Chains A and B, each alone.
Chain A
Amino acid sequence: AQRVTQPEKLLSVFKGAPVELKCNYSYSGSPELFWYVQYSRQRLQLLLRHISRESIKGFTADLNKGETSFHLKKPFAQEEDSAMYYCALSINNAGNMLTFGGGTRLMVKP
């Protein structure tokens, strides 16, 4: 069965510092990977998906099949980036049957 691991439950950085939220997965096939984010008092929402190769709010994520990782990165963290981040994996073509990691809370200090 597929599995998503986010090794850090909490990541605290100062404003302007680089951020890397780690995500590792286990799946024998070719998965699709996503990052979802939940800001305080807001709904969980899609941040980005690897298939789009997009940068959202300055965040990027590269799928490394050799290391089975999909780490989320941002060169300069902002206070408004403070949120709960979930890495998720889909094994079907629809990209909607998701297996989520345990989540990482990012705190960006002023």
Chain B
Amino acid sequence: NAGVTQTPKFQVLKTGQSMTLQCAQDMNHNSMYWYRQDPGMGLRLIYYSASEGTTDKGEVPNGYNVSRLNKREFSLRLESAAPSQTSVYFCASSAVRDYNSPLHFGNGTRLTVT
């Protein structure tokens, strides 16, 4: 049982390049999330998917797109990377919609855009 798996762990992009961050969970969770973590700003929600087939914007969605490919996988795409998107990206998942469903996080992807 791996929990939430993110790939890649590290990535360096040049401004304007595109890439997709992959996330998969094996806990049969309904909901999945993408956060970015910046020093002093905590984690900010980019996009989330409450259930398979649905996606919604979070606090900071500009410059990103997401795809809930199936119940297990939730990818985050940067179409044209910018230096402001240099950050650590975390994927998370949670089960049913009640307070006994904490977020389970992946190990993160450290992205640098030059």
Contacts and interface: CB of A to CB of B under 8 A. Distances in A.
A103 B97 contact: no
Contact of A93 (B90, B98, B104): B98
Contacts, number: 63
A49 B33 CA distance: 19
Given A9-B40, A101-B42, A103-B42, A96 B105 contact: no
Interface in A85-100: 86, 93-100
A96 B33 CA distance: 9
A97 B106 contact: no
Interface of A: 4, 6, 9, 32, 34, 36, 43-46, 49, 51-52, 86, 93-103
Contacts of B63: none
Nearest to A38: B105
Interface residues of B, number: 25
A16 B25 CA distance: 39
Contacts of B44: 100
A86 B43 contact: yes
Contact of B45 (A9, A43, A97, A101): A97
B69 interface: no
Interface string B8-23: 0000000000000000
B74 interface: no
